Structure formats: C-alpha cells, structure tokens
Amino acid sequence: MVNMLKNYVTDRDYAKFDRENAYSGEDLGVVYEDGITRFKVWAPHCTAAYLNLYTSGEGDNKVETLCMRKIERGVWYVELMHDAFGLYYTYTFEFEHNIRVETIDVYAKACGVNGDRGYIADFEALNPEGWEDTRRPVCQNPVDAVIYECNVRDFSIDGSSGLQWYNCGRFMGFTEEGGRCGSVTTCLDHLKELGVTHVQLMPVADYATVNEKKPYAGQYNWGYDPKNYMCLEGYYTSDPEDGGVRIKEFKQLVMALHKAGIGVILDVVFNHTYYTQQSAFHKTVPYYYHRLDKAGNFSNGSGCGNETASEHAMMRKFMRDAMKFWVEEYKVDGFRFDLMGLHDIETMNMLRDEMDKLDPQILMYGEGWTGGETPYPTDKLSYKWNSYSFGRIGLFNDNIRDGIKGGTFNLHETGFVNGNHHTFNTIKRGITANSRYRALQGTADDLCWAFSPAQAINYCEAHDNHTLWDKLAISASSYSADERRRMDKLAAAIVLLSQGVPFIQLGQDFLRSKPKIFRDGEQRSDTNIYDGNSYNAPDETNKIRWTEKEKNADVFRYYKALIALRRSSPLFRMRTCEEMDEKLFFHNCGGVIAWELRGADERYFIVLNPHRDTQRVRLPEGAFYRRLNEEGKPVYSKICGEQEVPAISCAVFKGL
C-alpha cells in the first residue's frame, strides 16, 4: 500500500530534503509538562495526522481520536490539557491516494503488549526507591572494563539458577541476591564473584518475534529483530500488558548492577528494522529511514531485509535521541552497536561527542562489518578497516578471536590454543591490542588497525557462532578432554592478559555449550551436535545450566583469577601505544610466546605455551615468584633462571 508513496522521494536527494524538512527540536514523542501532554511527530509527507488514544495496549478500546495540526518542518502537533498517564496511543497518517496507515510512534518511549501502541508513562513515578542515588560505576578508560555478554532469559531461566520462579528469565533475575546452585553462586552473586565490570545485555529494546503474552510457550529469540528502539521488551517483564511495569523492573536491574559496581551496556540494533514496509519508520515517513539501492529497492546490508540510513538527518538524530534517552532515563553505561559497519562514520563520531557531553566514560563499540552488501560508499562507513576515522569507538577484534581458536566459519580450522602454531604473530598483535607497537613493526602489519588499545575489543567467544568449548570439541577432537580444558584456559589468559578491552560471554567461564535440539527427520553428525546460530533455538540450547559451573569450578576459578590479576595492575591496561612501547617487551624464548610488562615498581613475565608438553623458559634477570599457575593460584617462593611451563597453559611470573 505505502509502495505508492515511493514517488515522494523520487530524486532521492536526501541532503536537499533534509535541508528543507529536517527538524532539530528536542521534543518529538510525548512530552508532559505543567498539566499539559504534548504530542509531536515528524511526518513531512502526510496530508493529515491523527492521535488515537486507547485504554489498553491492544484490542477495541479507543477513547478518542484527535486531529493533529502541522506546525513546522513536517512536525504535527496536538496537546491534551491533562496528564494522560496510563493511556496508550498510536498515530494515523493520511497520504495522497486516500492511503491511511495507523502506527506506533517511532519516538514511543514506552509501549503496550507486543509493542503495537505507545504508552504514556509517568517515568518519575516509576522510579524504584533509591533510584535518584544510583550512580554509574567509575570506568576511567575503556581498557579498565571487563565486559560480560548476557542474555536476559538465558541468565536465569533454568531452575538451577536457584532464583524465585517469578524472577527467572526476566529483568528481575538480575536483582535477586543469594542465588545458589549446590555449592556455587549464580546470577547476580556470580557476576560479583567473577569480578566483571560491565554486563552487556543482548537486546532489551522491544523486538518483534516473540509473543510477549506467552513467555512459556516455547518461543525464543535473541532480539536482533528490532521493533521499537526506545521501548523495553515485554518478554522480560512480569507483566507485559502494563506499559509501566517493564520500565520499573528494568530500572531495578540497572540499580542492582550499579550497586554491585557493575555497568550496564545495551546492545543496540539500529542497523535495520525487523519489518520493512510495515515498520513504524516507513509508515510514518515512507522511503526515508532506510537505504535504497540504485533500482530504488530496499538495500539489504544487514542480511535481514533492509538497512537504515544513518546519514539521513532524522535517522542520525533518532539514534542520538534514543541513546540520550537510555542514558538519561535509565542511566546505562554504554552501547554495543550491532553491524556497526552499516552506520556512517560521521554519525558515529557525532554520537561519541554527544555521549561525551553526558558522561565521557560511556562505552561505545561495535561490529566493524555488515551482514550484506550496502550501496553506501565503503570509505564512509564504520568498517574495521576505516578504524582510524573513528578512533574513540571500539571494534570487535576478530583477528585475535580467530587467531586463538581458528576461524568461526570453518569448524575444523584451528588456532593458537588448539594446535595451529602458525598463529604466533597474530597472537602477538593481539597482545599489543592490534595497535601501533614499535617492536612489531614489519610483523603482521595488516593486523595493526586499532587507533589505541581502547579500540580493540578482545574476545574469542560471543553469542554468535559456536561457544569456545563447542568449537574445541569439534576442532580438537583428537585431544583429551583435559587438554581441551587447558586450551580453554589458555584462550582466557590471552583475552584477559592482552592489552585492549576484554570481552567474555556468559558461561564461557564454566565451559558453556549449546547442544543442538534436533527436529524430526534432522540428521546428526559429528559437527552439527552443537548449535552455532541459536538465535531462535529453544531454551534447552541457549539457557545457562548453573550445574555446569559446579562441574567446571576449576575453570571458573581460573577466569576469576585472571580478571582479578588484570584489575590489580595498570600494566595490563595500558592507555596508549606509546605506553606499550615503553613498558611491554617480547622475549625470544623458542616455541612459546613470552612477554614482559615493566612498570616503575612492578614487573610481570607472561608465557603462553601452546604445546602438548612442558616447555622450559628462562626468566629475565632478577627474582620472581609464580603469580598465576595453571590453576590460577600464586606460588609464593622465590625463583629465577629456567622455569617449567606446563603443557597448553599460561604462566604469569611477578618480579620480586
């Protein structure tokens, strides 16, 4: 239907269109002030606009429809002389050819069930007790962060979380203290014990493909199918039918994590809309918010059917306004951009500047790639290879990821920890945060892309692709289970002791696995028993079984020890390339990677042994003790000269 509107933007001179129509006001959406509720929506193409008010988020319960008037630059306006809190609303737009569409407000900051109607929320009244005193934990530099990626549902949906049933799988699962599974901590207590500084939540903004009313109906989705970008997802709340409850519960999540000293990072999926023609963006301003290809069709750089156009003034503004809203209303601590390669560099730098105005410690990083071909010029997009043009925004380090364990797309490919010893230079580049480091000049220079250590987000496991443990099961099947455990720990040591920003996935610290659930008729093979793309797989694949933590407590203790070590010394968190030149030295020790960190009053010597037998390594001049053995424990005896480093392990020595 809205297809007929295509000719509105026929010449596709968006720059001219923006000059004539873009609106810069800070008051789009619903604004309540002094007893008046104001509605403003930017819809320059439509010939008439109406506000519809309802008593519920769905169903036949319209209260009234009000005519809006066009006031300036494509903005339509109407006001109510009362507070209207608790009502739900939509807009109806009329276009030429008698086309009428009803849609939720793209600027809706709250919504009813399944995100079909906006909700007029009294945000202040929804603040939990103590909210005003909630502060962002201090994070002076991104390299001080230890990021832990969590899915809200996976975190606590299994009974082994030990939480109250009504908190399981929901925002509130992050607020309950005292979670235990046998002898080990779970959920919030687990986060505190592990010592991470930030939790990166997989999308919590409203997404399309689960019915929020049926959280136990066997539906599942990671949430990369965005519907409303300023609203919370109702799947994670105790009452999806009340637009206010999810707000209150999410604030409680933020408050509980902040109280534990942990920041909250949102995974934002601005790069596409789940619906295309039926998206609120397209229904409000047809052919404006998405990119089109030469033929005038929606381009598909996301691989999800369309891509948004961050270079258009109002899309750019929308991203800024949404982020400001999340920061100011919910006090979040950072953003992870899905398929950031689709966003133009100018927009990303503007967003960084805007975040700096609010709080410079807000983290921003993303994926420096796309999910398909985009028509926008590649030199203007936030691709990893353009990293220097947006040096203050982090990028996922796929080089260290693949160097550690082998490429993610060939399951049998191996890396440093699982037997591929041609990866030494890749790992060395990773240890120096893939940024300028004088002593490695001329070595794997193509892997030197980060503007500074803070730009490299080092990881070897995330929600995408197989977990590290499953990848090792397939690619290192000829090794023993004990050796694979060692490989996992060695991988953790590389991620957590390298310069840059470490990132780990929920459960990676106790050998998370994603067993594939087979449907009738599906054939099993050695390689497909694990799920490498579980975005809509059932809980049985995705959920955290906290019993695994008890079973693999040694692995957990090792991760915990690495995190504590990293946080204990600034030598693991160098701020600049120059600092690395001054304080980081590789030593030539034959078949291992060895490097020294030398500060004014501290000194470390770290050895990575990827071989299946013990290696002997000569320590630098001076006396040391073993700060971290293969179990993650210190051994307090003075040593010097030649020392043993056990098979497939990392050894950390500290100078005395």
Give the residues lining the site for Ca ion (CB under 5 A).
115, 206, 233
Strand partners, 38: 31, 79
CA distance 353 to 336: 16
Catalytically active residues, by annotation: 338, 367
Quote the tokens at residue 166. Answer: 């009504």
Shortest Cβ distance from residue 211 to Ca ion (Å)? 8
Residue-level length of the chain: 656
Strand partners, 652: 606, 628
Shortest Cβ distance from residue 99 to Ca ion (Å)? 27
Report angle CA 230, 370, 317 to the nearest 5 degrees.
Answer: 35
Strand partners, 363: 334
Query: Quick one: 211 or 614, whose CB is closer to Ca ion?
Result: 211
Shortest Cβ distance from residue 580 to Ca ion (Å)? 44
Quote the tokens at residue 89. Answer: 């609303």
CA distance 479 to 70: 70
Tell me which residue has its CB nearest to Ca ion: 206
Query: Quick one: 233 or 338, whose CB is closer to Ca ion?
Result: 233
Shortest Cβ distance from residue 212 to Ca ion (Å)? 5
Query: Quick one: 227 or 392, whose CB is closer to Ca ion?
Result: 227
Q: Which residues, 6+ apart, have CB-to-CB distance to 494 below 8 Å?
A: 400, 404, 416, 417, 427, 430, 431, 458, 460, 608, 650
Query: Quick one: 113 or 363, whose CB is closer to Ca ion?
Result: 113
Query: Quick one: 116 or 321, whose CB is closer to Ca ion?
Result: 116
Instruction: Report the first-to-last Cα separation within the chain, whole angstroms.
Output: 75
Q: Tokens 């100011």 identify what position?
A: 328
Single-letter amino acid, residue 650: C
Query: Quick one: 107 or 390, whose CB is closer to Ca ion?
Result: 107
Shortest Cβ distance from residue 275 to Ca ion (Å)? 12
Strand partners, 308: 290
Tell me if 434 sits within 8 A of 450, measured CB to CB.
Answer: yes
Shortest Cβ distance from residue 187 to Ca ion (Å)? 23
Tell me if 376 sits within 8 A of 468, measured CB to CB.
Answer: no
Tell me if 74 sits within 8 A of 260, measured CB to CB.
Answer: no
Query: Quick one: 233 or 461, whose CB is closer to Ca ion?
Result: 233
CA distances from 319 to 107, 305, 337, 647 (A): 11, 20, 11, 49
Query: Quick one: 322 or 473, whose CB is closer to Ca ion?
Result: 322
CA distance 4 to 1: 6
Shortest Cβ distance from residue 115 to Ca ion (Å)? 5
Report angle CA 253, 255, 257 to the nearest 5 degrees.
Answer: 70
Shortest Cβ distance from residue 224 to Ca ion (Å)? 12
Shortest Cβ distance from residue 108 to Ca ion (Å)? 12
Among 656, 487, 625, 463, residue whose Cα is nearest residue 542: 463
Q: Which residues, 6+ apart, have CB-to-CB distance to 178 below 8 Å?
A: 162, 189
- Determine what percent of the chain falls in helix, strand and coil, rounding each to the nearest 5: 30, 25, 45
Tell me if 276 sits within 8 A of 208, measured CB to CB.
Answer: no
Query: Quick one: 5 or 202, whose CB is closer to Ca ion?
Result: 202
CA distance 509 to 149: 12
CA atoms within 13 A on the CB side of 355: 24
Query: Quick one: 207 or 559, whose CB is closer to Ca ion?
Result: 207
Q: Which residues, 6+ apart, have CB-to-CB distance to 368 below 8 Å?
A: 340, 341, 382, 383, 384, 385, 387, 395, 396
DSSP string across 595-653: EEEE-SS-EEEEEEE-SSS-EEEEPPSS-EEEEE-TTS--EEEEE-SEEEE-SSEEEEE
Single-letter amino acid, residue 432: T
Could you say which DSSP state residue 261 is in? T
Query: Quick one: 231 or 355, whose CB is closer to Ca ion?
Result: 231
CA distance 112 to 458: 38
- Phi/psi of residue 504, nearest 5 degrees: -130, 155
